């Protein structure tokens, strides 16, 4: 039986996806919350780790050490963007660590971590994602990119455990906290259930 793991940072990100896929809460600890279920020939687990790279790294490591290795990790969540349209779904093409900067040596990438190709969804736009320790409201990066607070930890662990990784991000703001909080009331922006149509091939 195929075994997939969906990762979300926040309960409000994961709960509606879990409900849509008829997943049942299996476990809740101080570190992680796990939902599980079966869709046809696929075992689906959804893990919620909390916000940020540190909590994600700790929570996901705990999960991977205590459960059967998944065939793929699917990271789903909210993100900001330099200038991508709010409400758009983006398929992340590359993961970077925004704070990782050693002048003269490394910037955004750890040399010992091999460059892992992320899974692709054909119909979605592809953009790189920079994971930060806090909400990004300004940047000197000129390209059209995505910012989140968790993906790079998921990316590193997917490398360590040799697990394919797919990341889908819903754009909620253009690096503006005021806009983000205003958009919390916009269902078409904040809903994440529509991501399921992009991952159907993994859950059949």
Q: Locate the domains of the chain by residue range.
A: 2-203
pLDDT at 151: 97
pLDDT at residue 114 greater than cutoff 70: no
In terms of Cβ atoms closer than 10 Å to its own Cβ (0-12, 13-18, 19+), residue 101 is exposed
What CA–CA distance (Å, rounded) separates 16 from 193? 6
Instruction: Return the pLDDT at 111.
Output: 67
Number of H-type helices and E-type strands within the chain: 6, 11
Mean of all residue pLDDT scores within the chain: 93
The residue count of the chain comes to 204
Q: Is the pLDDT of residue 110 over 70?
A: yes
Three-state secondary structure call for residue 139: coil
Q: What is the pLDDT of residues 45-93, one digit of tens each?
A: 999 999 999 999 999 999 999 999 999 999 999 999 999 999 999 999 9
Per-residue pLDDT, averaged over 147-154, amounts to 97
Long-range contacts of 134-142 (CB under 8 A, 24+ apart): 135/80, 135/177, 135/180, 136/80, 136/98, 136/175, 137/175, 137/176, 137/177, 138/175, 139/82, 139/175, 141/82, 142/82
Tell me the C-alpha to C-alpha distance, in Å, between residue 106 and each of 52, 101, 102: 22, 6, 5
Question: pLDDT tens-digit profile of 158-187?
Answer: 999 999 999 999 999 999 888 788 888 888
Return the CATH class of domain 2-203: alpha beta
| Residues 100, 98: Cα–Cα separation, whole Å | 6
Tokens representing 115 are 């460059």
> Residue 102 above 80 pLDDT?
no
């Amino acid at each position: 039986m195929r075994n997939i793991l969906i990762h979300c940072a926040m309960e409000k990100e994961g709960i509606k996806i879990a409900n849509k896929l008829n997943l049942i809460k299996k476990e809740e600890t101080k570190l992680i919350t796990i939902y599980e279920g079966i869709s046809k020939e696929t075992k689906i687990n959804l893990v919620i780790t909390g916000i940020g790279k540190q909590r994600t790294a700790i929570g996901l490591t705990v999960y991977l050490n205590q459960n059967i290795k998944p065939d793929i990790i699917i990271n789903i969540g909210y993100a900001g963007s330099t200038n991508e349209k709010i409400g758009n779904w983006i398929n992340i093409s590359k993961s970077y660590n925004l704070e990782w900067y050693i002048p003269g040596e490394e910037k955004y990438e750890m040399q010992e971590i091999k460059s892992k190709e992320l899974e692709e969804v054909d119909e979605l736009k592809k953009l790189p994602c920079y994971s930060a320790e806090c909400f990004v409201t300004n940047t000197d990066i000129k390209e059209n990119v995505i910012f989140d607070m968790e993906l790079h930890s998921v990316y590193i662990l997917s490398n360590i455990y040799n697990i394919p990784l797919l990341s889908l991000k819903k754009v909620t703001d253009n690096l503006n906290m005021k806009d983000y909080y205003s958009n919390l009331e916009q269902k078409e922006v904040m809903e994440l259930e529509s991501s399921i149509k992009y991952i159907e091939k993994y859950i059949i």
